Each structure stands twice: as structure tokens, then as C-alpha cells.
Amino acid sequence: MNTTSQRNAISTSQTTEAATQTTTTTTPPRITPLSATKPRTTTTTITTKPPVTTTNPPPPPPPTTTTTKPPCAMDSCCRRQSLYVVSAWLLLASALPAMLVSSLWLLESKPELEMKGKTLKAFVYADPEAEEFLEVLPAQLWRRVLVSRGRVPFLTELAELRLASGFGELPAVVHAAGTSVFFGLQGNCSLQVWEASAARQELPLRQGAAVVVFPGTKHALLQTQGSESCLILSVLQESGGFDRHDAASGFVAADAESLPVLKTAHESDLLSKKVYLAAGRVPGLFQVSLARLAPGAQCEEHTHRSAAEVYVNYDGKGCHLKMQNEQGQSRVYDLTRGKVAVINPQTLHSAWNDDGEPCQNINLMIGSPKG
């Protein structure tokens, strides 16, 4: 609209207002508030005629502001989503009794196979000759870790320790919630153990000897002056603290030469073992033994429902394992020359000796301390 038209419209509205002020009415006129900076021209008509429309252009629309609502604001869409969720929960509740039975079985059959969000492999296989010893004390003590923490449920570590000749005594240690297993592989070392009465006892760790140290028992490895260097298998198991029946000693020690030969739970008469520690002594450590496979011996395929089985080759040339991986594929592994295999629960495996001489493996069965 141009300026002349605006003036004519204003003049016309003013004339109309003057003419209509003489009309008597019982309704008070509506008053339009004025702007603080500039008066706004409006037309107010109190007549029986249709109101005159203001000639000013409409104010510009307010700026558009985009507001991002949080997820699932309570609008109609989200209310429908909430109804769907409630319906799903109702269906789940109706099937809960049957699911509970199934879930409990699954939890029991696959214990601790996921540790802190990490899915475990079916087994761990390690060749000591492929691992390097790390020097702990210069020219005196070396250590190589074959199975580290987090790869096997309730197994903190499996390692080999090499002590130089005439090393002396290592600093004493105490594990408040772990059980230690020391097994002599080569040479002639000793283990110092402090009993509950504070008396110290020296236990031999020559080849074939083993000591199981209970939680809370102070102990230290010892290599006396003039002795040859020695190699020791060291295993730390997460047993937790527990009340011991033989609290006075705090350990179990045995030598392969003095242990009786026992039949295994497998079908073959060519399989036998010597047991250092039986089930019931340490929570979660179900057995420490030395298994012997005669020539031609075969251990049938089997699984362990809730325990991991540790194999450490002790001697012989014919020990082999067949283990199935996570994809269901089986492969044969050679256990000779001190190789290590740890088979996690639910893993299908078998063992045999294909040599003309016997072979032996150190065996441990490790599971939950809660049984």
C-alpha cells in the first residue's frame, strides 16, 4: 500500500470514529494500549455495523525456535511406545517360570565363561620354548608367564621360575585369597614355609615334588649355596580365603616317588595317576596330579561342565591333545617338551600317547571356589 492510500485510510477511519462517537451505547469502548516508543494507529468502532479492519500490516511472525526434545518425551508417540514396552514385559512375565529353569541350567553349565565382558577362548595353548624368560633379579632369578590372568576362570597365573645356582632365599610372600602350587621340573630347589606357630620348615622341590600352599601362609623359594640351577612350575589359583582342617601346617607337600598309583575315571586301563591334592582340601582346586599315559593309551573325548583342566607336559614324547575351538573345529596339539594346554569348561577334548614309551602330564582341575 502506498503513502496516499494510507493517508486516505487513516482519514476515513478518523471520520468514521468521529461520526460514531455520538452514538449512545452501554458497552464501554475497548482501548488498545499504545506503544512505549511510537503510537500505533488502530481503528475501534462501536456500532452495529461490522467492525472496520485495521489498516496496519500484521506484525511479523516471531522467529522460529527449534527445540530438541529428549528421547521418549511423553507425547502420543512415546505413550504408544510405553504401551508396547509394558505389553512386552507382560508377555515375558507369563513365560518367566519356564525361562527361569532354562536360564539357571545355562548359568550353571557355562560358569564364568565371560569375564568382565570378555568372552573366553575354548582353550589356551602355550609353548615355553616360544616364550622368553624375563630377568627379575640380575643373573639370579628369571620368570616367564605361560598363562596370564583373565584367560581361564579362577586361574590367576601359570608361570615358570628359574633360579640360578646358589641364589639364596627369595623375599617371603603371603596370598590372602589365593592358593599357590609349586611343582619341581628340574634341579633341586626348596620352599620355606612358616607354620602357624611361626616355625619355619624347608620343603624340597626337586623334580617330581610338589607343594600346595594355602591362603594366609607365609612362604619363600630357596636355592642353597652350591646347588644346581632349578626350574619350577608356579600356579596361583583364586581359591579365596577358607577355614583349613590342617591350619597348623598351612600346606600339603608330596613327592611322586612316594605317592601310590591310582586308576583314573576314564575307560582305559592304560591311564593312571598319582594324586598330590584331592578334591575337598582347597575350594575350587579339585585336583593336582601326575597323569601317566602308557604306550597306546587313549582318553576318550569328553568335556568338563564347570572346571578347567590344566595339562603341563612332564616327560615323554608321545602325549597329544585334540581340542575343539569356538567354531566347533578340532585340531591336534603336541604336548611334548613341556608344552602347556588349559582347556576351559565345555570344551570337547581327548588325549593319547602315540609313542612306544610312557608320557606324563601334570594335571590340575580348577573351578569356582563356591563349588
Q: Does the structure show a pLDDT above 70 at 53?
A: no
Cβ-in-10-Å burial (0-12, 13-18, 19+) of 257 comes to exposed
Within-domain flag for 227 = yes
Q: Does the structure show a pLDDT above 80 at 305?
A: yes
Into how many domains does the chain fold?
A: 1
Within-domain flag for 33 = no
Within-domain flag for 42 = no
Please tell me whether residue 296 adopts helix, strand or coil conformation. coil
* Rounded CA separation 21/46 (Å): 8
Within-domain flag for 276 = yes
What is the grid cell recorded at 133? 624368560
Within-domain flag for 20 = no
Within-domain flag for 342 = yes
Say how many Å lie between the first and final Cα of the chain, rounded.
93
Q: Which residue has the higher pLDDT, 312 or 63?
A: 312
Mean pLDDT confidence for 251-270: 92
* Rounded CA separation 361/233 (Å): 12
pTM of the model: 0.69
- pLDDT at res. 247: 53
pLDDT class for 219, splitting at 50, 70, 90?
very high
Contact 262, 212 (CB under 8 A): no
- pLDDT at res. 124: 98
What is the grid cell recorded at 345? 569348561
Q: Does the structure show a pLDDT above 70 at 296?
A: yes
- pLDDT at res. 83: 52
- Per residue in 228-254, pLDDT (tens digit) is 889 999 999 999 988 765 555 899 999
Q: Does the structure show a pLDDT above 50 at 178?
A: yes
Q: Does the structure show a pLDDT above 80 at 62?
A: no
Mean pLDDT confidence for 68-97: 47
Q: By residue range, what is the domain housing residue 227?
A: 121-367
Which of 155, 154, 213 lies closest to 183 in space, CA to CA?
A: 213
- pLDDT at res. 322: 98
* CATH code, domain with 291: 2.60.120.10
Cell match 601362609: residue?
217
Output the average pLDDT for the chain: 77
Per DSSP, 106 falls in state: H
Annotate 141-207 with DSSP letters as a single string. EEEEEEE-TTSSTTEEEEEEEEE-TT-EEPPPB--SS-EEEEEEEESEEEEEEE-TTS-EEEEEEET
* Rounded CA separation 369/242 (Å): 10
* Rounded CA separation 305/264 (Å): 18
Contact 5, 12 (CB under 8 A): no
The mean-pLDDT minimum among 86-90, 153-157, 192-196 falls in: 86-90
Mean pLDDT confidence for 317-337: 97
pLDDT class for 56, splitting at 50, 70, 90?
low
Within-domain flag for 143 = yes
Partners of 293 in beta bridges: 271, 359
pLDDT class for 117, splitting at 50, 70, 90?
low
The mean-pLDDT minimum among 9-23, 59-73, 152-166 falls in: 9-23
Within-domain flag for 310 = yes
Q: Does the structure show a pLDDT above 70 at 77?
A: no
Mean pLDDT confidence for 243-271: 85
Which of 163, 284, 169 lies closest to 233 in space, CA to CA?
A: 163
**Residues whose CB falls within 8 Å of the CB of residue 58, separated by 6 or more in sequence, listed in order:** none
**Residues whose CB falls within 8 Å of the CB of residue 342, separated by 6 or more in sequence, listed in order:** 123, 124, 147, 151, 152, 155, 158, 308, 309, 310, 311
pLDDT class for 29, splitting at 50, 70, 90?
very low
- pLDDT at res. 116: 54
pLDDT class for 344, splitting at 50, 70, 90?
very high
Mean pLDDT confidence for 346-359: 97
Which of 369, 363, 307 lies closest to 158 in space, CA to CA?
A: 363
- pLDDT at res. 65: 45
* Rounded CA separation 63/54 (Å): 24
Mean pLDDT confidence for 53-67: 50
